[in-house]
Amino acid sequence: MESKEKRTGQRKKIAVSETAASSFLDGLGLSSPHQTESESAASSDQYRETLPNHDELTSLKNQVDLHAETAWLQEDEHSARHLFENSVSFLSSLIFHLILLILAVLWTFVLPPEPGIGPQISMEFTTSPEEENWDEILLDEMEAAIQTEAAEETEKSEMEENPEEMTDVLPEEEMIEPEEEQDSETEDELNENPENPANEALNAFDWANVSPVKPEEGKENRSEERQPETLQSGSGKDLNQRIMPARSLPTGGGLGPRTDLEARAKMLAEAGGNAQSEMAVERGLAWIARHQQFDTNKKYFGSWSFDLSRYGISNSGEATSRTAATALALLALMGHGNTREQGEYQKAVQDGVYFLSTQAKSRKTQPGYDFRDSPDSRGMYGHILATLALCEAYSLETQKDSNLHQLALGGLQWILYAQDPNGGGWRYQPHEAGDVSVTTWVVMLLKSAQMAGFEIPSATIVRLDQFLDSISSDEKSKYAYQPGKPSIPSTTAMGLAARIFTGTPRNAKLLEKGTRHIANWGCHESDLYYDYYAALLLRHYGGPQWTTWNEEMRDYLILTQESSGKEAGSWFFTEQEKTNNQIGGRLYTTSLAVMILEVYYRYLPIYQEKSTTGL
């Protein structure tokens, strides 16, 4: 309609031009009405010679027509340009407002909910400023998670289409390359001889360069508080549906009657402890409690540190993970019946659990809570020990705290996520090929989580079995640090302890043969890491091997406990080479020594489901 009106207007302009041309022509060849006929004739004769001929008139008319047509085309071009400019403005405005709308919708998901305050624990969920340095690690983890998820979805769809093809074998998943460790100077010193398997195993539990040596400086700066995302349930359900047969941890081996003095004394006597060993435990706990730190700086309140130089203590540790140090101290205290509800060191447990709660971090790309206090390769020990301590604390309480439950569950979910999906073990970074040291601590964590009422996915245990098989030798009675490496006593003790706590029957040949190896090797005078797992293994297996080994170990620890000075109640064993004792220092060795002497009642016997409480 608009174009038609424009063209009508142009035609009117052409008509006006034609009228003007006719008037011009009339002026050139027509007489005026006031002239006489003679005048007109004369005039006509006078101007006849000046009149243009027919060709000239035709040319002039064509020029007028061309002028009108050009004017019409120019106006059409102007209208088209105007329409185009208006369209560009409209589209630009539309795109801009769509972007604003999308950002507004996304912002509603990014904004964290209001932080909640629990009735018993002031939970502070923090994101460390150092997360900016974790970018490469987290990007690798995200890529690995995406690859794994894609592979699982493909397998799941294939199995749904072909259910008859399902087998009892773990699904093959896309290989995820472990991240390269950034070796610290301390780690370089510890591994001067990488070909020496004994050196590797002895160093398996070091925590060097995890967090600051001095409380007032270093890596543990906390950033602004924020409520973590809703806890994710993980992939256990889907994996259970895909893996046959189902596996579960044994029901035996629950927490012993730690808070029941009479039942605890009964188990102590039956399992081979005595009054002297209990006195050594009490002195050791008193020493540990004296070195809990209550700095005015809130971020360290209630924690322990491996570095005890501020107290003038000899053999102070070099490891700097407050999370690992605090968790070890709590495990020793709770092993003797101290909880947040009762016990001589009730307040110490309360403050220690509070400190661990401040270390929980929620990450958008990972489920649950991450308790690592550093991206360093040894940060995994801090997470495992912290979650283990929180699970035990929750299990021991009669009045269950929902906030403590959430903390323990979050730590469990993160460690389930971190398992190597191919080899089945755990190491220093999520999805990294495992080693027996880290993996055996995870086994103890899974057992404590089970006792706290959390369900352990069958897929996790199946993959764990796969890892233990991969490092075993001599009919699965000996174990190496990693696949392809030789077995030694300390790694064998860890592997066999893991077998017991994952449900290997007592009459299995591997246990009969393996416990005989440990009994023949005896206890170690300085390697308490080996002694701790050997004690757990033989205590639950029982028999004459345990009786002989226990008497030697028990009496040795009673005799070697410090009896005077600032070190009274503690243990430390100097070794020629730099080992875990030097890295963890006196707090590390004292905590392990106490836990060895608590082995009589720390857990119920693995092969006995009935609780000793009340007997």
| Domain 184-597: which CATH number of 2.40.50.100, 1.10.150.120, 3.30.1490.20, 1.50.10.20 | 1.50.10.20
Average pLDDT, the chain: 74
User: In this structure, are strands 361-362 and 369-370 parallel, antiparallel, or unpaired?
Assistant: antiparallel
- Residue 149 vs residues 98, 152, 239, 414: alpha-carbon distances, Å: 32, 5, 11, 16
Q: What confidence tens digit (pLDDT) does each residue in 564-598 have? A: 999 999 999 987 777 889 999 999 999 999 999 99
Could you tell me if 576 and 510 are in contact, meaning their C-beta atoms sit under 8 angstroms apart? no
Q: How far is CA 89 from the centre of its chain?
A: 47
More confident residue, 150 or 271: 271
Q: What confidence tens digit (pLDDT) does each residue in 441-485 have? A: 999 999 999 999 999 999 999 999 999 999 999 999 999 999 999
Residues 64-87 have a mean pLDDT of 56
Q: Is the pLDDT of residue 37 over 60?
A: no
E strand or H helix that includes residue 161? helix 135-161
Domain ranges of the chain: 184-597
pLDDT-derived band at 608 (thresholds 50, 70, 90) equals low
Q: Is the pLDDT of residue 253 over 70?
A: no
d(CA 490, CA 437): 9
Q: Which of 606, 608, 613 is nearest to 249 (CA)?
A: 606
Could you tell me if 247 and 355 are in contact, meaning their C-beta atoms sit under 8 angstroms apart? no
pLDDT-derived band at 295 (thresholds 50, 70, 90) equals confident
Say what the pLDDT of residue 394 is.
Answer: 96
pLDDT-derived band at 259 (thresholds 50, 70, 90) equals confident
% pLDDT > 70, the chain: 59
pLDDT-derived band at 70 (thresholds 50, 70, 90) equals low
Q: Is the pLDDT of residue 319 over 50?
A: yes
Number of H helices, E strands in the chain: 20, 4
d(CA 389, CA 445): 8
Q: What confidence tens digit (pLDDT) does each residue in 491-550 have? A: 999 999 999 999 999 999 999 999 999 999 999 999 999 999 999 999 999 999 999 999
Q: Is the pLDDT of residue 260 over 50?
A: yes
pTM above 0.75, yes or no: no
